[in-house]
Amino acid sequence: MMTTVERSEFREAMSRLGAAVNIITTDGPAGLHGLTASAVCSVTDDPPTLLVCVNRASNVHAALSANGVLCVNVLASRHQDLSNLFGRGGIPVHERFAGAEWRVLHTGAPALADAVVSLDCSIAQVTDVGTHSVFFCRVQAIALGAHPEGLIYFNRAYHDIAPSAHDVCHS
């Protein structure tokens, strides 16, 4: 039995699936680019691999494909304005990157200096599904931030994730 789920119903359902907020960056022959994304997850630890989903209509998509590298920068609550800056269209690339301090780890993709964690990757494989491409990314370098906290997007709003008092007392 085949059922059809309406796009609006699916989007509403996905708004209730909390996800980490990340800024995906790239640099190389196609230039410096970045976007805010929540469709990121671990695939395997052997070899360390992530997947990142990006809409093919995004102006960053072509740069990711051409550069062959990206950095997943996991955000904390202090990065909400930066997330919004990278999430809005029409803002010049240099203005987006001027909003924070960046460094380079291994691939040349910008790593956010105060990210919760930055995962610097080479793109190993790309698969198209519907409107998006799924980039399978081999982790080349990791920079752990000083504070294990997080920023989650849930029900169309930001939510802070902080260590519990128990975690703070025992670290």
Residue 6 belongs to some domain of the structure:
no
DSSP string, 5-48: --HHHHHHHHHTS-EE-EEEEE-STT--EEEEE--EEEEEETTE
pLDDT-derived band at 170 (thresholds 50, 70, 90) equals low
Report if residue 16 sits inside a domain: yes
Average pLDDT, the chain: 93
17: confidence class by pLDDT, cuts 50, 70, 90: confident
pLDDT band at residue 21 using 50, 70 and 90 as cut-offs: very high
Question: What is the number of other CB atoms lying within 10 angstroms of the CB of residue 151?
Answer: 23
- Domain annotation covers residue 165: yes
- The CATH number covering residue 65 comes to 2.30.110.10
**pLDDT tens, position by position, 123-169:** 999 999 999 999 999 999 999 998 889 999 999 999 999 876 655 55
Confidence of residue 69 (pLDDT cuts 50, 70, 90): very high
Q: Quick check: is 4 in a domain?
A: no
Q: Which residue has the higher pLDDT, 96 or 17?
A: 96
Report how far residue 6's alpha carbon sits from residue 12's, in angstroms, rounded to the nearest whole number: 10
The Cα 126–Cα 17 span in angstroms is: 24
Asked, for residue 151, whether it belongs to a domain, the answer is yes
Domain that holds residue 162: 11-169
% of residues, the chain, pLDDT over 90: 82
Q: How many domains does the chain fold into?
A: 1
Is 55 a residue whose pLDDT tops 80?
Answer: yes
Whether 41 maps to a domain, the answer reads: yes
Which pair of structure tokens corresponds to residue 133? 């491409």
Is position 3 within any domain?
no
Q: What is the mean pLDDT of residues 1-8?
A: 84
Answer yes or no: is 1 within a domain. Answer: no
